[in-house]
C-alpha cells in the first residue's frame, strides 16, 4: 500500500508548466469513467487524460479512428464527476480538428463546455500548428502529441517507433510556438525524447519515450493488467487485475448455480 499523500491543491495548467522548471516529474494516467477517475484522483495523479484510446480498451475496436467527439464528451463528463484535483485533458478524436482551425476551435469548445475538460489534446506538429494557435487564442489550453500518433496509424503502417529526429525537433518547436502548454512524446527513442525535452520550455509527457521526459502517461487498463490483447513493451503493469476479476466472476457464477448465493448473510429477513 502506497503512503503517498496526494497534493491538496487542484492541478492547473500554469502549475503543470511550472513543474518542469522545478524538476518535478508529472504523473498522468488515462481514465474513461467516474469510478476510475475517482480512484486515480484520490491516488494523486497530476492529470487524467480522457484518451481516444477508449476506442480500443473500452469499445473493443482495433484502433481509435472510429471514436466520435460526442463519445469523447460523454466519457469526459463521467470522468469530470469523479475528479476534484487532477487536471482533465480530453483527446480531440480523428477528423474533429484536421479540416480547419475553425473546426478545431469548435470541437475544443465543445469538449470544455459540454464535457467539463480543462484542456484538449490533438496530434501533429507543424501541420497542426495553426489549429493549436486557433484553439489557444480562445483561451483553451492545448496539449500536443508527437511521435507515434495513433490517428496516423495507417500512414505509419502500424504502431512503430518514430526516429525522424530533425522533423520531430521542428514539430516540437512548432507546437510550442503555437501556444501548447505540453507535448506527449510517444514511442520515440529515449535519447531523442530527452533531446526534444531539453529543446523546449514546456513539459513533455512520455509514453514509450524514456525517463528523460518531464512526466509519463500510461493507459489505465495497461497499468492494471486489464487489457491483454496488446501489451506494449514500454508498459509496466503495477497490478494484474484481469485474472482477479475473472476468478471473482467465475466464483459468483458457481455459487449462483449451486444455490450458495445469496446465503443467510446476504438476504433480507422478515
> Cell 497499468 belongs to which residue?
223
Question: Which listed residue (15, 166, 186, 191) is catalytic?
Answer: 186
Q: What's the pLDDT at 229?
A: 67
Of 15, 19, 45, nearest to 30 by C-alpha is 45
Q: Was 91 annotated as part of a binding site? A: yes
229 and 251 co-located in one domain: no
Helices 190-199, 165-178: axis angle to 10 degrees equals 30
- Judge whether 204 and 182 are in contact, CB under 8 Å: yes
Q: What's the pLDDT at 243?
A: 94
Q: What's the pLDDT at 22?
A: 97
CA within 13 Å, CB half, 207: 23
Band of pLDDT at residue 228, cut at 50, 70 and 90: confident
Write out the three cell numbers for 188: 520515440
Q: Supply the range of the domain harboring residue 102.
A: 13-239
100 and 55 co-located in one domain: yes
Q: What is the pTM of this model?
A: 0.95
Q: Was 121 annotated as part of a binding site? A: yes
Model pLDDT for residues 118-143, shown as the tens digit of each residue: 999 999 999 999 999 999 999 999 99
Phi-psi region of 225 (alpha: psi -120 to 50; beta: other; left: phi over 0): left
267 and 136 co-located in one domain: no
Q: Was 255 annotated as part of a binding site? A: no
Quick check: is 114 catalytic? no
145 and 246 co-located in one domain: no
129 and 245 co-located in one domain: no
For residue 1, is it within any domain? no
For residue 2, is it within any domain? no
Of 109, 118, 167, 176, nearest to 138 by C-alpha is 109
Q: Is the pLDDT of residue 249 over 70?
A: yes
Write out the three cell numbers for 112: 470544455
For residue 3, is it within any domain? no
Q: Was 240 annotated as part of a binding site? A: no
CATH number of the domain encompassing residue 104:
3.20.20.60
179 and 225 co-located in one domain: yes
132 and 250 co-located in one domain: no
Q: Is the pLDDT of residue 217 over 90?
A: yes
Mean pLDDT of 198-217: 98
Write out the three cell numbers for 251: 466464483
Q: Was 53 annotated as part of a binding site? A: yes
Q: What's the pLDDT at 231?
A: 75
Q: What's the pLDDT at 159?
A: 84
Model pLDDT for residues 63-111, shown as the tens digit of each residue: 999 999 999 999 999 999 999 999 999 999 999 999 999 999 999 999 9
234 and 247 co-located in one domain: no
3-state secondary structure of 139: coil
Average pLDDT, rounded, for the chain:
95
Model pLDDT for residues 168-177, shown as the tens digit of each residue: 999 999 999 9
Q: Is the pLDDT of residue 233 over 90?
A: no
Phi-psi region of 124 (alpha: psi -120 to 50; beta: other; left: phi over 0): left
Amino acid at each position: 500500500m502506497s503512503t503517498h499523500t496526494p497534493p491538496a491543491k487542484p492541478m492547473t495548467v500554469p502549475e503543470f508548466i511550472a513543474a518542469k522548471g522545478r524538476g518535478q516529474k508529472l504523473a498522468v494516467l488515462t481514465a474513461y469513467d467516474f469510478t476510475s477517475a475517482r480512484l486515480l484522483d484520490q491516488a494523486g495523479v497530476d492529470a487524467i487524460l480522457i484518451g481516444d484510446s477508449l476506442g480500443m480498451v473500452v469499445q473493443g475496436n482495433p484502433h481509435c479512428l472510429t471514436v466520435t467527439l460526442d463519445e469523447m464528451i460523454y466519457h469526459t463528463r463521467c470522468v469530470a464527476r469523479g475528479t476534484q484535483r487532477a487536471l482533465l485533458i480530453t483527446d480531440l478524436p480523428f477528423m474533429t480538428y484536421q479540416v480547419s482551425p475553425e473546426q478545431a476551435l469548435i470541437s475544443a469548445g465543445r469538449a470544455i463546455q459540454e464535457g467539463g475538460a480543462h484542456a484538449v489534446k490533438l496530434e501533429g506538429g507543424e501541420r497542426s500548428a495553426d489549429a493549436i494557435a486557433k484553439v489557444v487564442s480562445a483561451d483553451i489550453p492545448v496539449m500536443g502529441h508527437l511521435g507515434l500518433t495513433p490517428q496516423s496509424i495507417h500512414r505509419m503502417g502500424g504502431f512503430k517507433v518514430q526516429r525522424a529526429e530533425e522533423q520531430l525537433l521542428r514539430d516540437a518547436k512548432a507546437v510550442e510556438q503555437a501556444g501548447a502548454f505540453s507535448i506527449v512524446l510517444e514511442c520515440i527513442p529515449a535519447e531523442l525524447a530527452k533531446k526534444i525535452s531539453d529543446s523546449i520550455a514546456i513539459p513533455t509527457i512520455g509514453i514509450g519515450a524514456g525517463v528523460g521526459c518531464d512526466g509519463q502517461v500510461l493507459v489505465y487498463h495497461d497499468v492494471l493488467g486489464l487489457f491483454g490483447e496488446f501489451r506494449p513493451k514500454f508498459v509496466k503493469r503495477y497490478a494484474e487485475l484481469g485474472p482477479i476479476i475473472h476468478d471473482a466472476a467465475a466464483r459468483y457464477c458457481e455459487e449462483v448455480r449451486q444455490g450458495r448465493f445469496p446465503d443467510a448473510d446476504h438476504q433480507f429477513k422478515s
